[in-house]
Structure 1
Amino acid sequence: MKIAEILSRLEEMAPLAYAEDFDNVGLLVGDSNTEATGVLVCHDTLESVIDEAIAKKCNLVVCFHPILFSGLKKITGKNYVERTVIKAIKNDIAIYAIHTALDNHKQGVNKIFCNALGLTNTKILVPKQNFIQKLVTYTIPENVEELRNALFDAGAGKIGNYEDCSFNSKGIGTYMGNEDSNPQVGERFEFVENDEIKIEVTFEKHLQGKILKALFRNHAYEEVAYEIYNLENQHQNIGLGMIGELTTEMPEHDFLQFVKEKMDCGGIRHSQFLNKPIKKVAVLGGSGSFAIKNAIASGADAFLTADLKYHQFYEAENKLLLADIGHFESERFTKNYIVDYLTKKISNFAIILSQENTNPVKYF
């Protein structure tokens, strides 16, 4: 099995197009055409993880955080990033990072976070915008079903919990072909008025190539009339953070103790108690200070995230309990999820969970 085949499976789970613009995801080191010997899944790719991959005969490391985030001008081994990359290259080990592609997935990092806390009725906290496009095309009635089904098969027509969604309206199309034309209906130089159906479907923008390929391959006309629009709609199934509900409300102190145990936290920094029960909980794995206002607007009683600065605790505005549970801790079950996914998708192949604890933060 080629490394590329494994990466294709990963991108079925978390398309790289889901990642944030600032991120550096995908294959960072290595050749995807190399035969895979095994996969080691980790949180952070460090030298010790590469050593583990060597020992376990894995030539692909799938990590959550990218080891290469900003550009490298030199690779001389002067810091941990350069040393890790050098060791990986010397030992023909590929490195693939998934990061915010999985953060933004509805079953990804934040759903895993919610599941660990037993939250129900979950939904995306910060839905992704400018990610949906709309295709409008026109065809003869006899071609509608074939064309529409081809567009659905390519990924169009998915809205929330529904598939095969489209809007279809009848109209009259007109055209006149020149000497080089080969019209489906009518003759060259003949002005044609023809019954047509207008088909409208939405799709995620990274699927545009597949959608257009399906359109051109299955459309009845020689020249395909179509338009693509960028929509400002929020995508309710893609985005950062998540909000859900505890099965039973808890006092604030009990809630934080519960979180500490479930997420195995070394400590929790939090805003002042408001003496209100906790029922509705917002979460955002990793650095989530940007979503404090979203958590408040959602009506959350508590917001769990990481990497909060001193003054950001004031932003709770006595409207919710704001808690920093630790960056690693908020994402700690992510690598297990990736291993479970790959094990189901690729049978009889070594998919190994790294035993290295790469959390750089220690608690006294």
Structure 2
Amino acid sequence: MKVGVIRARIGEIELSDLLRALEANRANAVVTVRCEDVIGRVHLRDGQLLYASTDPGPHLGEYLVRLEYLTLEQTQELVLRQERENPGTPLGQLALRMGLLEPGDLREALNAQVMEALATLLAQRTGDILAEAISENASQVVLPEMLDTSAVLFEAARRLDEWRRGKVRPEAVLRVVSDPTRHALSTEAWSVLELVDGLKRARSIALESDLPETQVYHLLYELQSRGLLGEAEIRPTDPLILVVAESSLVRRLLLVTLERSRYRVVMPHDPDSARRMLEHHKPQAVILQVRDLAERVRQLRASPDGRFVPVWAVAEEPPRGFWVRSARVGHIPKPFSEEDLLDALSGIKRKV
């Protein structure tokens, strides 16, 4: 069934109610949710859930890396091939076609992303909702099997309710303070506990895990509440990196890779916020993945806070020209590996 255009504010209509109504009417639709800090999209075919995503938020390619189904390099190479040879072909379908993934692996990664995206959108209290009809022939990211909308909404709401019971701060540094073997813990709790070392911030632990970020903060809260974890007495100061990337996937892969190695990451959404972050946060390095590299570097070096900060460009080819040397711009190859990133940043000193 086709639907007309539906516009509403969150509160006038609840996202979950709208999705269930579209499900009941077997609608082909895309629902866009615009809030102050996040934009989300939910795709439905015959009322069944095809796909959901948020920006900012995890990318499918990120989950494929976090679940260890693909490497950093494989994921980026897939995107390059997608752009050059297969425009419009969903990333997951391309990976299946090339034999890099099994259907069950793709389904697990997509399920994880869809569930996290829906939980994020259901948590929003203000914003605008727009539902529009889509063509039955429109290209979509397709799950091996479409998801039951009501069942997914129920599970996302259950998780959201659980997460709201308590979370640690992303910057919290925790250590194990009692014997966990004396407690009955879930598999997920054990997987998170194994990553706690008294040095990593909660965000680094969350992005090293294959669980949704908010779920990890909740599990850490539960472990702390039960007396298994306590605040670390000494908190190392992790270096701060400012990342500006036009590709949402590259942005998320940089975030995950850097956070796993105990670098703090800030990601501005426009040039103005980049200038503000540069001024207020005083990052120890800047990583750029942009088309107008020379202009961005010129703006950066013109700022008092950006005059001397180390800068690296993520690009397939090293930037060329006299300005590159005078502006002191380093190069990180694209596709990049974890080793490429960490080698580039190896000169940055950590403070305790």
Given the two structures, how large is their TM-score scaled by the length of structure 1?
0.27
More helix by share: 2
State the structure with bigger RCO (CA 8 A, min sep 6), 1 or 2: 1
More strand by share: 1
Given the two structures, how large is their TM-score scaled by the length of structure 2?
0.28
Q: Give 1 or 2 for the bigger CA radius of gyration.
A: 1
